[in-house]
Amino acid sequence: MKKNISHRSDCPISSALDFFGDKWSLLIIRDIMFFGERTFKNFSDESEGISSSRLSERLTRLESLDIITKKRHPTNKKVYLYNLTQKGVDLFPIIAEYVLWSDKYLDTHISPQSKAFAKQLKGSKEETIKYMAKQFNKK
């Protein structure tokens, strides 16, 4: 089911935020980008503590906007697997900028893995983004 979005304005930032601009949607996108295909339980188990109803609503919304796909698990038909579409993969540069900003301004708070990734991005952002997109598209 495709969802028609009503945009608040013709501002490109506002319009993009209408798609993916809330905390939970970005964290769902992040989890799939960095950890691969995910189940509802995988998302529920993350430390941020999203409620089941909110997670369900965000997954449905992201799917209706063609940011993620949903398919049945091959061995457990009660479980769905969520993955990014190309539209979702194309958000990677935005996520990378969040990592860089956090590394600069939240340095003492972010994980060692995030610091290492930020260092990689600082060394060659364009190459890192291309590499990550290529790796994701292999999945």
Contact 81, 37 (CB under 8 A): yes
- Predicted confidence at residue 102, as pLDDT, reads 92
- Give 14-85's CATH code, choosing from 1.10.3720.10, 2.40.50.100, 3.10.450.50, 1.10.10.10: 1.10.10.10
Q: Is the pLDDT of residue 139 over 80?
A: no
C-alpha 88/C-alpha 70 separation (Å) is: 13
pLDDT in tens, 80-124: 999 999 999 999 998 899 899 999 999 888 889 889 989 999 999
Residues of the chain with CATH 1.10.10.10: 14-85
C-alpha 83/C-alpha 60 separation (Å) is: 13
pLDDT in tens, 7-32: 677 788 777 777 777 888 999 998 99
Q: Is the pLDDT of residue 50 over 60?
A: yes
C-alpha 111/C-alpha 115 separation (Å) is: 6
- Predicted confidence at residue 46, as pLDDT, reads 80
- Predicted confidence at residue 41, as pLDDT, reads 92
pTM to 2 decimals? Answer: 0.83
